[in-house]
Structures are given as structure tokens and as C-alpha cells.
Amino acid sequence: MAIAIVYMTKEFNWNHTIQGYVSSAFFFGYFTTQIIGGALTDKFGGRKVLSIGEICLGVGEGATYPCVSSLISKWFPPEEQSRAISAVSVSHFIGMVITMPISNLLGSSQFGWPSIFWVSAIVGSIWSIIWYFYGRSDPKEYPGISKEELEWIFKNKSTACSEDNFGNYQSGSREYIMIIDDDHRVPKSENDMIIDDDHRVPKSENNMIIDDDHRVPKSENDMLLPKNQISSRPHYVHKIPWKLLFSHREVWAILLCDLFCSWGYFILLNWLPIFYYEYFHVDIHLIGIYTALPYLSYTIMGSIVGYICDYAIHQLKFHVLTATYLAKTSLEGLLMMTIGFALYSFKVSSYLVSHLDIAPKYAGVICGIRNTFGMVPAFFGIALTGRILEVTANDWGIIWCICSLFYMIGTAIYLAWAGGEVIID
């Protein structure tokens, strides 16, 4: 949209106020599903929710990052979560590095700016189909996972996996195990029967566990895990402790930091191409490249930030790494923006991953709340920026000063209140 609106403005002769309203319109829908997307993911798993969210794009896209956070909390051990968040964040910007120049080419082609949205929709639809059939919400659901990887994922989530459990495991097994859920009976295969209270249910040899007072069949992936980790199906949250979540200052550190820091991010995301085009009079055919370069610097730096931060947190015992940036002015402005985005990549080790540290069980819903706070400056800030430019006769200096101030406020709040230990389990 940031590239398309340059062509739309040229075609429809929009002023900055209208540009702000149009750019912020998407985020009204994106805002509505952040919290519900996170809550649904923690309860039902990221595979289904993310698939539906992508198919329903517009409103549904709000579920994307809460789903990703919940998936990371289940698929990665604590010492790899910073680099996992880093990989996701970097992948987001890799997409932007690719999309910005392509959007520029499409907008300048005979197909015009509508082709930008058609191509994006087709690519997203293809991915959604692939994800639905191959994605899994929990590593225990994935039939092709190796016993070594499953052990690594779970070894630091409670106690280390018992070596005895690995003897009967075959990597890549695709046998489906059926379960008893309270009073419901679920069949598996013939000749596999156990008695659970008054119910007769399928069973296979050496495939039975005791979970509290219930006798349930055990999946082959569950055989890898110690008793306190074994479950006949992935564990999802049944009830979200909303009051408890909002009672901790560590949660508020994440929310308020995202509120203030998202202001600058979304202003840059939506107004940077216009800034280059109007302020520096960059050729319209080069705007995509100018816009992509700062994101490329984020991609390169962000690729290693996760590893740096995982090492700092788990080996050097650092708990918070954070950075802000200040960028102004054509080639000089591009250089400052590029350096700024490289430094900005360090956010992956702070508030973007903090919810995994303090409440991994509720990572999805906290991420959803965080992104909801972040959406406030998305639609208010983007629209207000257009109005400020109108009132101040295109004074971009005011825009960047406001962004810088908000980054500093968000950083100060996070440094004062953030935590690095599990406080909600």
C-alpha cells in the first residue's frame, strides 16, 4: 500500500490528509482481531487460526503475529526463542525488500496500481493452502519430527526427557493415535482396546499412560517425554486469566513500549515512499528501491541479532538489549534511514520476545494485546501525520521529531518495568 498510494495520489490528486486516511484504513480491520486472534491460538492452536486468518486477510491478518508467538512458544526451547522471533521479523522485512521494488514495477506497468494487490492476494492464497496442509500447532502433532529435535524442544520446558522413552520411538512415524477426552470416546484401530472408567477405547501395545485419574492411549511422540510432560494431545489453554495478565507491570512494559515504538514504525512503513517522492523528488521508478534499502539493512542485521541476544541472555546472563534510532534527510537521508533500521533490528531481543519470557503459556494472547496497543498509533498516527503535513506546509522535521520522542518514551518505560523471568505459568 505504501508504494501503491504514490501512484493513487498521482492519479486521484489526493492531499496529505486523504493519504493519511487511506493508509490507515487497513489498520482498523487489523486492530480488531489482535486479542481474539491470540486467545483463540492459545486455546485451539496456531495452525487452524492462522490459516483462517490468512484466508480472510483484511480483518483476519490481525491474527498473524499472535499466532506466530504462540507457535514459537511451543516449537522452540527458551534458548532459541530470540532467534526464532528474529527469523520471523527478518522474514517480514525480506518480504518487504522483495515486494517494494516489485510493487514499483507493477505500479509503473500497463496493469497499474491495482495489480499490486492482485499479485499479493494470489501469493497469500497459495501460501495459506500450503500452510493449512503442512503446518502444525504443536511439535507433538508433526509426524516427521525426529526424536532428537523433540527432546531438544522440551528438555528445558520442565525436566529433561527420559532416555528410556526414546527406545520405542521411530522418527517420522505417521501412525495416528486416538484419545479419550473426559466422557467422550474416540476410536483408533481394531484390536487396540483399553478400559477407561466405564468406557472401552482403542489402545495399542505399550501405548497407554496414566494422566491424573484417567487412562488414555499415548502417541509415539508422547513416548519421548517424561510423565509430567506427556499428554495425549497438544496442551492448549482452557481459560485466559485476563485480570492476572493485566496485574503485572512486566506485561504493561511490553504493551506501553509497543504503543510508543509502533508510532515511528508505522509512520515509516506508510509514509517513507511519499517522503522520498515529495521531499527529495526521487524518481517515481526508484522509490521502491529507496524504500527497500533500509529494510534490507534490518534484514541483514536482524539475521544475527537473535543469535547475539540468545547468547547474551543465556550465556552472559543479560536480560534486556534494546536500541532506538534517529534518522533525517536524499542520499544522506537514505544512509541515515538504513543505519537506523539496522539498529532498530535489536528490538527483537526486547519487547518483541519479552512475552515469551514472562508468560510462555499465554504468549499468543499477550502478543495480541501488545499488537492491539501498537495499532492505536497505526491508524491514528498515520492519519494524523497527513494532517500535520497539511498544517505545517510539509514540515517533515516535525514528523521525525515526534517519532524519535515516542521511541525514547517507549524505551524508558520498557527499561524501567521489563522482566526476563517467568511470572505467569
- Mean pLDDT, 10 residues at a time, the chain of 425 residues: 91 91 81 79 76 61 77 85 80 88 94 93 88 87 86 66 38 37 41 43 44 45 47 59 90 92 89 89 89 86 73 61 44 78 75 82 86 84 93 90 91 87 79
* pLDDT the model gives residue 192: 43
33 and 178 in a single domain? The answer is: no
pLDDT of residue 171: 39
Phi, psi dihedral angles at 362 (to 5 degrees) = -115, 30
CA distances from 260 to 255, 291, 371, 374, 378 (A): 9, 23, 12, 8, 10
> Which pLDDT score is estimated for 68?
84
185 shares its domain with 64 = no
Q: Are residues 219 and 257 in the same domain?
A: no
- Same-domain pairing of 39 and 155: no
Residue 19 and residue 158 in one domain: no
Buried b / exposed e over 31-67, threshold 16 CB at 10 Å, is bbbbbbbbbbbbbebbbebbbbbbeebeebbbbbbbb
Q: Write down the pLDDT at residue 125.
A: 86
**Structural domain includes residue 151:** yes
Q: 293 lies in a domain? A: yes
Q: What's the pLDDT at 359?
A: 86
Assigned domain for 232 exists: no
User: Any bridge partners for residue 194, and if so which?
Assistant: 201
Say yes or no: 259 and 150 in one domain: no
As for how many domains the chain has, the answer is 2
- The range of the structural domain enclosing residue 156 comes to 144-224
In a shared domain, residues 72 and 212: no
pLDDT at 54: 66
294 and 358, same domain (yes or no): yes
**Pair (292, 389) in one structural domain:** yes
Q: Do both 48 and 159 map to the same domain?
A: no
Give the pLDDT of residue 157.
61
